[in-house]
Structure 1
Amino acid sequence: MPLPRTRGKALRQRLAELRGPDVPAKALDARALAALAANPGCRRRAILDGAGVDKAALASALGAPSVFGQSQFAFTRGNAFEAKVKADGGAELLRLAHEKLDRTAEPPVGARVPDLTASGPEGRTARTALALREAAGAPGTWTLLDHPMLALDVAGSPAFLEPDAVVVHPDGGWTVVEIKSFPMLDGSADPAKVGAAARQAAVYVLALEEVAAHLDPPPEVRHRVLLVCPKDFSNLPTASAVDVRKQRAVTARQLARLTRVQDIADTLPAGTCFSPELPAADLTAAVESVPATYAPECLSACELAFHCRGRSRESGAVTTLGRSVRAELGGLTTVDTVLAAAHDETGDPSDPTVTALRRAARLRAEALAGLPPRTQAPGESSCP
């Protein structure tokens, strides 16, 4: 549900203050949104992404620059491949959509490719919605939307998303198209990369469903997306249909769990600002005023991961060891308390977690006591 106009304006002003004077907002893309949904408990990432803060610049200013992100070479290669796929009015792209998703339909000859040019993200979003409405009112034809703009409410703040393409089928159904530069070898691609693409496409599916909900009757937003990649080691495009129902359900559930950006902003001290131009001490204090939920998975998904990992290690938080370990330890949140409980120094003996730790410590001690003295191998240094 959109915010009332006055409240929405106040929120935008507050988020601009958090970014800093004259600092432009960094758009929240689907990749970042999928990563945010994967860690909904991190209030720090939620407010920084909601405010449009450039986390890469912020991490550098904090002295913990991240190598996270796409290389310039991969970016250039991806753009060149996408241009090849969409050449000639998207003829090859539509052929792949017909072959992989809709063979019973008429071949996509003379497909419509509407102009989606407009001013600003709001204008492009409205122009995309109009093009989709027009396509829904013209059944029997193929329509290709090249880089449409979609909007999705994220924790009370709008996120503008730009999929590579959306195909409207002759029966009126809508399909998201993801174009990636990693190869498909013998018809299959790296499962990890396909999974990441599926999570990203699921965000676009959710945004498309928001548009479809305002049409009568609402068109079908298909949950099988078209993944287009280079074939083997060539630059020729091939495609595969990827079912994203699971990723869509998980992403929708995680986004619903996100604390509203307005609620997080209201808890921050007056004058809080995340501008990279601030002195390091002030910037560190501002970042630390928002709690983070670090996990090792953040290293591949967030520019602030190195900073948060360092703080997590300094505090001895067990989350540094991974979410699964954290879940097993219950109310024991630091490494020191875990070790103290294992050595019978603190902890409730009736706590199953404490009991398991003490038993594990006892078994370890017995196993080490039963080992024969270790002899030094020839040539081995005696230094530890």
Structure 2
Amino acid sequence: MRGPDVPAKALDARALAALAANPGCRRRAILDGAGVDKTALASALGAPSAFGQSQFALTRGNAFEAKVKADGGAELLRLVRKHLDPGAEPAERAAVPDLAAIGPEGRTARTALALREAAGTDDTDGGRDTGRDSGRGGWVLLDHPMLALQVAGSPAFLEPDAVVVHPDGSWTVVEIKSFPLLDGSADPAKVGAAARQAAVYVLALEEVAARLNPAPRVRHDVLLVCPKDFSNLPTAAAVDVRKQRAVTARQLARLTRIQDIADTLPEGTCFAPGLPAEQLTAAVEAVPAAYAPECLSACELAFHCRQRSRAAGEVTTLGRAVRAELGGLTTVEDVLSAARGESGDPDDPAVAALRRAAALRAEALSAQGAACP
């Protein structure tokens, strides 16, 4: 579907969090499932997105992450112990296993093996305690592990910044961000986005833990590491992602299987950015979208979908809350017609509320006109 010789774009945790936030959007589901580069697709459709970090921001973020993980992750582990496990022994000799392997599948298997060894169990021998000392009783740092999560019937490979195994065998997700913590607090929107992203990693870790016996505890308090104030010194805060994890799990479970969506498309549907604009537009429009203003901060195709939604007069352009209040009225024209009394069931609460609002507006305008000389 993404076209011949077009490499697949990997589905990351940020994309999964955005997909889970709008599970009714089949367009995003099929494009992400097919590995389509939505940034290139949006540009080819004539509605380029404003997504992506500047090269300066990427360089700064990479430098900060390297600083946090320097010296075998000593500073990172100190922050984990301070904020999440103050009763544990100091991380003087943390193990940092090699997670290198060929391909995402190989890296996923290598990560699972490292986690099993750190937990002191092995699912190949019935989950019995192997008595290994490679991680049990000490700290283990997994730098950029690879996890897999089933999404709409297809595996998505995810790469958290780090996963830490505590001396008690529990697992913690670590998110390293370049936005600052000012006086112990940060931009709520950025923290919320980081929490939703971390919740996806927690779900993937839980799938690994479920295959072990006994299953290690995956902590729902993740560690968010950021620069302190206006310096480059790392500081951290514990973020409880139980709510985000529950919402993400529920929304991902509601996603329609990608194969089911693909079966409804015309034969030969292709989303290759190099196709003629008319053909590409027809292919994209063959998949229904669920646009809302919130998409502007989460999806590369938001500007294209907004143009189409406005052209069709859909009430979703006004927001999900407004759409929910209007019931079966799906277009602005339907809403105005119902408010004028030209259509709609008067017993419908939405229609009744619209007509009452229209009457009050007319009354206010009439009173205002009478008051003016």
Classify the TM-score, shorter chain.
over 0.9
Aligned-residue offset at 1:373? 7.3
Q: Deviations over 1:146-167 (max 9, x none)?
A: 0000000000111000000000
Instruction: Determine the C-alpha separation between the residues in 2 that align with 1:72 and 1:318.
Output: 38
Name 2:338's counterpart in structure 1.
341
Partner of 1:37: 20
Q: How far is the alpha carbon of 1:69 from its aligned partner?
A: 2.5
Query: Percent of counterpart pairs with the same letter?
Result: 84
CA deviation map 1:266-325 (0-9, x unaligned): 111100000001100000000000000000000000000000000000000000000000
Query: What is aligned with 2:180?
Result: 183
Corresponding residue for 2:303? Answer: 306
Match of 2:36 in 1: 53
Which position in structure 2 is the counterpart of 1:248? 245
Q: After the TM superposition, which residues 129-144 of structure 1 pair with which residues of structure 2 at under 5 Å, given as runs?
A: 129-137=112-120, 138-144=135-141
Q: CA RMSD in A?
A: 1.2
Between the aligned partners of 1:84 and 1:41, the Cα distance in structure 2 is 41
What's 1:199 paired with? 196
1:348 CA drift (Å): 1.1
1:14-93 to 2 correspondences below 5 Å: 18-93=1-76
CA offset digits 1:25-75 (Å, max 9, x no partner): 000110110000000000000000011100000000000001022222221
**Is 1:322 matched with 2:319?**
yes
* In 2, Cα distance between equivalents of 1:40 and 1:222: 26
Mapped to 2, the partners of 1:264 and 1:174 lie a distance apart of 36
Distance 1:350 1:191 in 2: 42
Query: 1:12: which partner in 2?
Result: none
The CA distance in 1 between the partners of 2:322 and 2:54, in whole Å, is 33
Aligned counterpart for 1:216 among listed residues 191, 213, 218: 213
Q: Which runs of 5+ in 1 are unaligned?
A: 1-17, 376-384
**Alignment-mate amino acid for residue 341 of structure 1:** A
The residue aligned with 1:382 is none
Q: Give TM-score scaled by structure 1 length.
A: 0.92
Residues 43 and 259 in structure 1, CA contact (< 8 A), matched pair in contact too? yes
The Cα shift of 1:242 comes to: 0.6
Distance in 1, matches of 2:54 and 2:16, equals 20
Check whether the contact 1:329–1:353 (CA below 8 A) recurs between aligned residues.
yes
Distance 2:32 2:369 in 1: 56
Q: For residues 181 and 48 of structure 1, what CA distance do their matches in structure 2 show?
A: 29
Q: 1:174 aligns with which of 160, 171, 176?
A: 171
What is the aligned partner in structure 2 of residue 235 from structure 1?
Answer: 232
State how many pairs are aligned. Answer: 359
Cα deviation, 1:148-202, whole Å, max 9, x if unaligned, reads: 0000000011100000000000000000000000101111111111111100000
Stretch of structure 1 that moved more, 344-353 or 220-229? 344-353
Task: Detail structure 1 runs of 4+ shifted over 3 Å in the superposition.
Answer: 372-375
- Matched letter for residue 42 of structure 1: C
| Aligned: 1:257 with 2:254 | yes
Say whether the 8 Å CA contact 1:68–1:299 is kept in structure 2. no
